[in-house]
């Protein structure tokens, strides 16, 4: 069914008008002046006036916004000054107490707390490398990646500490705990260990100035088609390019809309509903909020009515989450009991939003305009944006690549650039791209072509250069914004001694977009149930990766002519059936 939006008029200009303003503010001598830059033999468009490193950006933002509220968590209110001073103390402490040097890897394994941000800032200030890990993982997943990243130290919360303490002790890796519980009195507390350094941060400025734009800042581990999480390595320049592009886009949109929209009634405020260990949470919410002086309200876990309360209480203007979240806001029976008039941008990312939800957002919120973004961990979340005026008419589009920083092409299997309208692999060229996969030179080599990152998404560009995604080339499932590698799940299933073979694939789900399904061929006369197998898999996989639909069979799985299992046939046969055992949906987003 097509979306009928001809009767909806949004009081914002179309992307073409915003692009006209971008051209003006990126010309020579302008605030967002764009120049040509060479990186590893490839020419990119780059910002002339970009900060040299993240530490310099933190310092500039703190100088600008000082005692204004920055991070709100439950009843805690933290100003820009407070967050910076704690991060600086943490930075000095790491160097003096633990001898952490520039280039050393520091793992952050915790749910969303203000201490996550303090740790990230403190690590990257002096040239350390922040390695945020998925807080949903199980012990086995954590320890494998901690070892692969060559971490020098781990910063964890109380739950991750309980999970990892013994394994880290065996590996002789130190751990600092944010918010230890009452039973962890022997653990090294983050607040205690930085306290003596809160007045000893004067040397930070000179340390920050020694960090180059080309130095590594982060390694974000992301699940992909290879089965094992890959470490996506970004420089300070890569991350700052992404953040500055969104800042540029916001400035251009503000200028373009100045004559047709009323002045903002509320100061900018964002609701952080997604985990910081993903680039969406870290970059588009935390880092962009810092550089823009935007108050950010952290939710300890996702609960729709709590989000409605916070939108009213804190006058939230910007909401960004997976499509499931905005849907649950719209459908909540108590929605009309709250004043949501401050909300003017309801953004989605991480998964496709059903077209009818686009129209529903406009109808459900007094001032809420729907938008979506398309990006990847490997592009530091930068890619394309579909703004309100275009989104309502192109609800199936992932958006327009942001000129002049982002260049998108569609290529065939031979790497040839295709014409507009032709379907092929989407490739993205931007200085925000990662520089490599950590300790994976061959994978890095095949993931890039002439400076373009190969996304594995199949799509096309329409006559206006908007991206449309039609399929995925890579064998991954996107469950509520979380990537799940089919190969990783299959490898875990094969660990069960009664499994002969298996195939894992995406099953369409109305709430989460996709969930994990598995057809498993087991040995005859074995008393194995889907529930038993799910319980076994929770020992090896994070809960969100455990298949929610399992079909146990005794016959060998169908094959292609190449001898590979025919997943397409299995998905067609089983993918629409939901009679099998399913594990319960998770209420909480990152309280695991």
- Measured CA to CA, the distance from residue 49 to residue 229 in angstroms comes to 34
- Measured CA to CA, the distance from residue 14 to residue 18 in angstroms comes to 7
Strand residue runs (E) in 92-241: 105-109, 129-132, 151-157, 174-178, 216-222, 230-235
Coil vs helix vs strand at 468: strand
Mean pLDDT within 476-485: 89
Q: At what angle do helices 54-65 and 114-125 cross, to 10 degrees?
A: 120
- Measured CA to CA, the distance from residue 587 to residue 35 in angstroms comes to 47
DSSP H or E segment with residue 296: strand 295-298
- Measured CA to CA, the distance from residue 518 to residue 505 in angstroms comes to 6
And the tokens for 117?
Answer: 């941000």
The whole-number pLDDT of residue 410 equals 97
Contacts of 573 (CB under 8 A, 6+ apart): none
Q: Per residue in 296-307, pLDDT tens?
A: 999 988 999 999
Which domains occur in the chain, in start order?
A: 15-49+234-472 (3.40.50.12780), 77-212 (3.40.50.980), 485-574 (3.30.300.30)
Q: Which residue has the higher pLDDT, 549 or 360?
A: 549
CA 183 from centroid of its chain's CA atoms: 33
Coil vs helix vs strand at 504: strand
Q: Per residue in 494-529, pLDDT tens?
A: 889 898 889 999 998 888 889 999 999 998 877 899
Q: At what angle do helices 54-65 and 236-257 cross, to 10 degrees?
A: 40
And the tokens for 29?
Answer: 């001598």
- State whether the Cα torsion 497-500-505-507 is positive or negative: negative
Beta bridge partners of 42: 39
Phi-psi map region of 306: left, alpha, beta (phi>0 left; psi -120 to 50 alpha): alpha
- The DSSP secondary-structure symbol of 189 reads B
Q: If pLDDT is split at 50, 70 and 90, which confidence band does 4 have?
A: very low
The whole-number pLDDT of residue 2 equals 35
Q: Per residue in 51-85, pLDDT tens?
A: 999 999 999 999 999 999 999 999 999 999 999 99
Question: Contact at 8 Å (CB) between 409 and 452?
Answer: yes
Mean pLDDT within 241-252: 97
The whole-number pLDDT of residue 540 equals 92
Q: What angle do CA 312, 315, 317 make, to 5 degrees?
A: 115
Alpha helices in 267-415 (DSSP H): 279, 288-292, 304-314, 323-331, 355-364, 388-391
Q: Rounded to the nearest 10 degrees, how much is the dihedral formed by the CA atoms of 408, 410, 414, 416?
A: -80
DSSP 90-110: HHHHHHHHS---TT-EEEEE-
What's the 3-state SS for 56-87? Answer: HHHHHHHHHHCCCEEEEECCEEEEHHHHHHHH
Give all strands of the β-sheet with 513-522 in edge-to-edge order: 499-509, 513-522, 549-553
Mean confidence (pLDDT) of the chain? 90
What are the backbone dihedrals phi and psi of residue 591, each rounded to the nearest 5 degrees, phi first?
-110, 70
- The DSSP secondary-structure symbol of 198 reads T
Q: Could you give the C-alpha distances from 151 to 105, 106, 131, 301, in angstroms and in order?
A: 5, 6, 8, 28
- Measured CA to CA, the distance from residue 155 to residue 341 in angstroms comes to 39
pTM over the 0.75 mark: yes
- State whether the Cα torsion 369-322-107-406 is positive or negative: negative
- Measured CA to CA, the distance from residue 509 to residue 374 in angstroms comes to 21
Beta bridge partners of 320: 272, 347
And the tokens for 128?
Answer: 């350390």
The whole-number pLDDT of residue 580 equals 38
Q: If pLDDT is split at 50, 70 and 90, which confidence band does 575 have?
A: confident
The whole-number pLDDT of residue 576 equals 63
Contacts of 488 (CB under 8 A, 6+ apart): 223, 227, 228, 229, 541, 545
Beta bridge partners of 502: 520
Q: Per residue in 195-212, pLDDT tens?
A: 999 987 555 545 567 899
Q: For the chain, give the percent of residues with pLDDT over 70.
A: 93
């Amino acid at each position: 069914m097509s979306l009928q939006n001809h009767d909806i008029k949004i009081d914002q200009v179309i992307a073409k008008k915003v692009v006209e303003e971008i051209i003006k503010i990126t010309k020579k001598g302008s605030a967002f002046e764009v120049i040509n830059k060479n990186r590893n033999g490839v020419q990119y468009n780059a910002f002339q006036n970009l900060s040299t490193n993240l530490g310099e950006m933190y310092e500039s933002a703190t100088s600008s916004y000082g005692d204004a509220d920055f991070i709100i968590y439950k009843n805690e209110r933290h100003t820009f000054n407070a967050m910076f001073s704690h991060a600086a103390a943490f930075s000095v402490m790491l160097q003096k107490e633990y001898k952490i040097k520039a280039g050393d890897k520091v793992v952050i394994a915790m749910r969303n707390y203000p201490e996550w941000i303090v740790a990230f800032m403190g690590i990257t200030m002096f040239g350390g490398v922040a390695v945020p890990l998925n807080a949903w993982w199980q012990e086995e997943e954590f320890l494998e990646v901690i070892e692969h990243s060559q971490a020098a130290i781990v910063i964890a919360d109380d739950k991750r500490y309980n999970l990892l303490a013994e394994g880290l002790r065996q590996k002789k890796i130190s751990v600092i705990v944010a918010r230890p519980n009452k039973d962890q009195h022997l653990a090294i507390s983050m607040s205690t260990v930085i306290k003596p350094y809160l007045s000893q941060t004067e040397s930070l400025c000179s340390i920050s100035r020694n960090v180059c734009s080309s130095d590594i800042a982060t390694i974000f581990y992301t699940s992909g088609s290879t089965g094992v999480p890959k470490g996506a390595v970004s420089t300070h320049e890569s991350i700052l390019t992404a953040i500055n592009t969104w800042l540029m886009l916001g400035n251009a949109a503000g200028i373009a809309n100045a004559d047709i929209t009323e002045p903002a009634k509320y100061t900018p405020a964002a609701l952080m509903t997604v985990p910081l260990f993903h680039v969406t949470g870290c970059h588009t919410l935390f880092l962009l909020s810092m550089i823009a002086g935007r108050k950010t309200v952290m939710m300890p876990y996702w609960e729709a009515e709590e989000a409605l309360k916070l939108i009213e209480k804190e006058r939230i203007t910007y909401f960004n989450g997976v499509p499931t979240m905005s849907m649950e806001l719209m459908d909540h029976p108590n929605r009309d009991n709250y004043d949501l008039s401050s909300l003017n941008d309801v953004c989605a990312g991480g998964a496709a939003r059903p077209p009818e939800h686009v129209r529903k957002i406009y109808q459900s919120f007094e001032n809420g305009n729907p938008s979506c973004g398309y990006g990847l961990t490997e592009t530091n979340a930068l890619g394309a944006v579909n703004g309100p005026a275009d989104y309502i008419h192109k609800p199936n589009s992932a958006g327009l690549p942001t000129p002049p920083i982002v260049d998108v092409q569609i290529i065939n299997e031979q790497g040839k650039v295709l014409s507009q309208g032709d379907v092929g692999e989407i490739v993205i060229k931007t200085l925000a791209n990662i520089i490599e996969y950590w300790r994976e030179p061959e994978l890095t080599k095949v993931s890039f072509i002439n400076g373009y990152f190969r996304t594995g998404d199949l799509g096309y560009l329409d006559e206006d250069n908007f991206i449309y995604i039609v399929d995925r080339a890579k064998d991954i499932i996107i469950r509520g914004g979380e990537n799940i590698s089919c190969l990783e799940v299959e490898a875990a299933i094969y660990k069960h001694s009664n499994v002969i073979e298996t195939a894992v694939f995406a099953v369409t789900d109305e709430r989460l977009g996709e969930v994990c399904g598995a057809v498993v061929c087991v040995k005859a006369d074995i008393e194995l149930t889907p529930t038993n197998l799910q319980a076994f898999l929770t020992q090896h996989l994070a809960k969100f990766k455990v298949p929610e639909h399992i079909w146990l069979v005794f016959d060998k799985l169908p094959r292609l002519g190449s001898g590979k299992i025919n997943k397409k046939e299995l998905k067609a046969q089983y993918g629409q059936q939901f009679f099998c055992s399913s594990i319960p949906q998770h209420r909480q987003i990152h309280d695991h």
